[in-house]
Structure 1
Amino acid sequence: MSRFGRIGSECRAGAKAFLRRRTAVFFTFFFPVIIVLIFGVLVGTQPTGGGLFAEPPGYYLPGYLAVVVLFTPLSRVGSEFARHCEGSRFEKLATTPLRRWEWLLAHTLVNVFVIGAASLLIFGLVVALVDAQIAVGAHLLFLIPFVALGVALFCGLGAVLGRLADSQDGVIAASNSVALPLLFLSETFVTPALLPTWFRPITNLSPLTYFARGVRSLTYTGAQTSAGVDPVALALGDLGMLAALSTVFFLAGAYAVPRGD
């Protein structure tokens, strides 16, 4: 079987396994919807009132997208990794031509399609329910590589966590311990102005920061107005950093996939 055939077969197997878990399918799409409804509709923003949600609604779109780009790959790939270890599936895979990076790539592609659909749903909800002012144009197509690279990065990290944890429960605990600090300390919902001055440079160590900045440059009219440059030019630097970090994390995740058990 060719390389593309091996990856395609693993993709189909991963997609079918995901669709069979109806609870996982439901919460993959339901969880980000709840986040939008709570923070965007019920809590709302107060652009002149100060506090946590002191920016216009459009500022927080990257945060809503970050929820699904961050949490879903970490939990799904980490849990799948743990299931493979517990069921001795990696030992069986070691007898096949499927390579470690091909296994991770196949599951990453499944997540890209699933999370891409969830991101599209979130984008529509934010525009329809939160009254966010989005800069519409062909430049929004650059959201596709941002989402794809973000998913690849956290799929790689999910594989690393799956290797370090000793069970599915351990993977979930580790994923939440990593994801929650990243979500709120990566220029998503908490603006840099609300953080201590000494801590602000540390947010540059988070890969999610480059995702949030880049998406905000493409979508938020306020960011484009203040910068006074083309939104694509504004986002390319963050896209480059995200691509470099995604490569590193994906390679680390592929290395973490065992040849056997």
Structure 2
Amino acid sequence: MTAAGRVRAEASAAWRSFTRRRTAVFFTFFFPVILILIFAVLVQTNPGGGGLFAQPPGYYLPGYLAVVVLFTPLSRVGSEVARHREGNRFEKLATTPLGRAEWLLAHTLVNVAIIGIAGLLILGLMALVTGTASLALGPATLALVAAFVAFAVALFCGFGAVLGGLADSQDGVIAASNTVALPLLFLSDTFVSPGLLPAWFRPAMNLSPLTYFARGVRDLTYRPGAVGADASSVGSLAGWEANLAVLVVLTLVFFAAGAYAIPRTD
């Protein structure tokens, strides 16, 4: 069997395993709905009024996407690696032609598909409940946003594999992923704009991979000319191209680290 065939077979098995877990399927897609209903409908935004949600609704689209791009791969891949370790499955996989990088690629492809569906759900809900006055969502833009999502998912799949390789149990993976994800979510130019943070901390935002995802998506989709928008807070690099380039490089690094962290045997 070729490498492509091995990856396809493992991805097919991983997809069937996911769809059989009805609770996981429900909350994977229902969580974005809850998130948008709470923050975009109940809390709403207050352009020009100061505070956490002081930008137009379109400004926070990268934040909503970042939630599923960040949390889902970290927890799913990390837990999967920990589950395989506890069940001595990597010892069995070591006797097959399937390599560690191929195993991780297969599970990454499944996560890209899952989070791609969740991302489309988020875009649809945003357009439905907040309108598109501060969003630019043409076909070319959507294709580029899909590229950002795919690379970011691959990056955090690699990160999740590292956590799964280091943690001693599934509970440990969940605790570690939440400890990593929560600070990244709010300190990566997603929901909290740089202007609300101390000046000395703002350069540290560039250390977060999620920052380049959020800024790139925002540069593509957000119209800073909307009423109440703070144009100075839109992307600190030279447009979405630079953010995508950095994200691609980081994805390769984290994916390689994740493949290396997957144990050959238990």
TM range (shorter): over 0.9
Structure 1 partner of 2:52: 52
Contact map agreement 1:217 1:223 (CA 8 A) in 2: no
Structure 1 partner of 2:170: 168
Please report how far the alpha carbon of residue 134 of structure 1 lies from its aligned counterpart in structure 2 after TM superposition: 1.1
Calculate percent identity across the aligned residue pairs.
69
* SS of equivalent to 1:222: coil
Structure 2 partner of 1:220: 222
Please report how far the alpha carbon of residue 131 of structure 1 lies from its aligned counterpart in structure 2 after TM superposition: 2.5
* SS of equivalent to 1:221: coil
Structure 1 partner of 2:243: 238
1: CA distance, partners of 2:221 / 2:14? 32
Instruction: From 140, 143, 162, give the equivalent of 1:141.
Output: 143
What does the per-residue CA deviation read over 1:112-150, in whole Å, with 9 as the maximum and x for residues that have no partner? 000000000001101111224211322331011100000
> Aligned AA for 2:116?
G
> Aligned AA for 2:37?
L
Structure 1 partner of 2:21: 21
2: CA distance, partners of 1:95 / 1:7? 16
1:259 aligns with 2:261: no
Structure 2 partner of 1:230: none
2: CA distance, partners of 1:136 / 1:258? 42
Please report the RMSD computed on the Cα atoms of aligned residues, expressed in angstroms.
1.4
Please report how far the alpha carbon of residue 32 of structure 1 lies from its aligned counterpart in structure 2 after TM superposition: 1.5
> Aligned AA for 2:210?
L
Which structure 2 residue ranges, 5 or more long, are not aligned?
233-237
1: CA distance, partners of 2:221 / 2:142? 7
Contact map agreement 1:214 1:238 (CA 8 A) in 2: yes
Structure 2 counterparts to residues 83-232 of structure 1, below 5 A: 83-132=83-132, 133-137=134-138, 138-222=140-224, 226=231
Equivalent pairs counted in the alignment come to 256
What does the per-residue CA deviation read over 1:28-60, in whole Å, with 9 as the maximum and x for residues that have no partner? 111111111111110000002110000000000
2: CA distance, partners of 1:141 / 1:91? 39
TM-score, structure 1 as length reference: 0.95
2: CA distance, partners of 1:71 / 1:172? 10
Contact map agreement 1:45 1:55 (CA 8 A) in 2: yes
Please report how far the alpha carbon of residue 223 of structure 1 lies from its aligned counterpart in structure 2 after TM superposition: 7.3
